[in-house]
Amino acid sequence: MNPLERYEPLVDDVDAFRAACDRPLPSVVRTNRIKASPTRVREAFDEAGVAHESVDWHEGLFRLPDGNPGGNWPYVHGWIHGQEEVSVLPGLALDPRPGERVWDACAAPGSKTTQIADAMGDSGTLVANDNNLGRLSALRHNAERLGVTNAVVTNRDARNFSVKPLAFDAFDRALVDAPCSCEGTCRKNPDVVDEWTLDHVHAVAGIQKGVLARAVQATRPGGVVVYSTCTFAPEENEAVLDHVLANEDCELVAFDLPLDTVPGVTEWEGESYDESVTRAQRVYPHHNDTGGFFCAKLRVGGAEEGAGGSDAAARDAAGVAR
């Protein structure tokens, strides 16, 4: 069975959804502000004869009609990084601040990690973790090319990650961009549809629950955890949130994204989820001409999100956070 068929009850326009999933995905790059501004990148593209189109909802994103984002000198010099439009959303939801302590639990190959470092002004402490040692080489390469200096790279199973070896007790923010069944990437990788199995969905959902639970535990009261996937499967999205809400001290909070989204679903194939999962946001390919995505924002411990933020900035100013 084509797995996209099982999600047709969730979408508003089945024909448009299926047609969008069959179209190739536009090639997009993100400006790396550690090294260049969007204006300078635009000038560099003009100088190098690289065709480009600005993405209207984000001044730092450019679509490259000719593809090949790595085939130009701004890329080689670390001014840009190839990153799908919807892949930018978790970093925007996380909203990391300079001087903070941030954990990227499933970081490789580093697109979101380097976006977070950019947003932090390359200050504070960013712990970029992945359990796949082979993928960490890509993460390190991307971080070095983009000039990231505030990142610490670790190779751990995120479900058992310990903060003890670090010089602090908890993170201010954490991102769990979880490994998933990846159906939302079918526009750039059609093989995911042919290789999809429901057994894999159920297996990876167990891992996702463990990683998200650990992220909540490792984040200070009042801190923020963002959970994201590139799958349409409620088993990997709303069901994971429902599990963690029932077992950890956290709550889902409403947040804004600059694309057209729909709320999370509360029922799926006989299962019911916590009503607050409607605060999560689903992105379908036919709404924005992007890949498919899911994003949710949680607050830990019930305190205000801003608690401790000024302390984090002060630590960085004193040179402690690095």
117 and 266 in a single domain? The answer is: yes
121 and 203 in a single domain? The answer is: yes
CATH, residue 42 = 3.30.70.1170
For residue 322, tell me if it sits in a domain: no
How many residues comprise the chain?
322
134 and 189 in a single domain? The answer is: yes
Contact call for residues 85 and 116 (beta carbons, < 8 A):
no
- Does the annotation mark 230 as catalytic? yes
Query: Of these residues, 106, 180, 186, 230, which one is catalytic?
Result: 230
* Domain hosting residue 42, numbered range: 26-83
Distance CA 269, CA 267 (A): 7
pLDDT over threshold 90, residue 312:
no
Query: pTM score, two decimals?
Result: 0.93
For residue 102, tell me if it sits in a domain: yes
pLDDT tens by residue, 131-179? 999 999 999 999 999 999 999 999 999 999 999 999 899 999 999 999 9
Token pair of 204 as six digits: 């990876």
Mean pLDDT of 240-251: 98
Of 109-123, 229-243, 293-307, the one with minimum mean pLDDT is: 293-307
Distance CA 92, CA 88 (A): 7
Cα(first)–Cα(last) distance of the chain, in Å?
50
145 and 61 in a single domain? The answer is: no
Task: Check residue 307 and give its pLDDT.
Answer: 42
Task: Check residue 2 and give its pLDDT.
Answer: 87
132 and 66 in a single domain? The answer is: no
Give the SS3 label for residue 114: helix
73 and 112 in a single domain? The answer is: no
Contacting residues for 245 by C-beta, under 8 A, at least 6 apart: 251, 252, 274, 276
33 and 16 in a single domain? The answer is: no
Cα dihedral 208/146/188/62 (nearest 10): 120
User: 């085939």: which residue's tokens?
Assistant: 71
The total of structural domains in the chain comes to 2
- Of 15, 50, 83, the last residue of a domain is 83
204 and 309 in a single domain? The answer is: yes
69 and 111 in a single domain? The answer is: no
75 and 108 in a single domain? The answer is: no
204 and 103 in a single domain? The answer is: yes
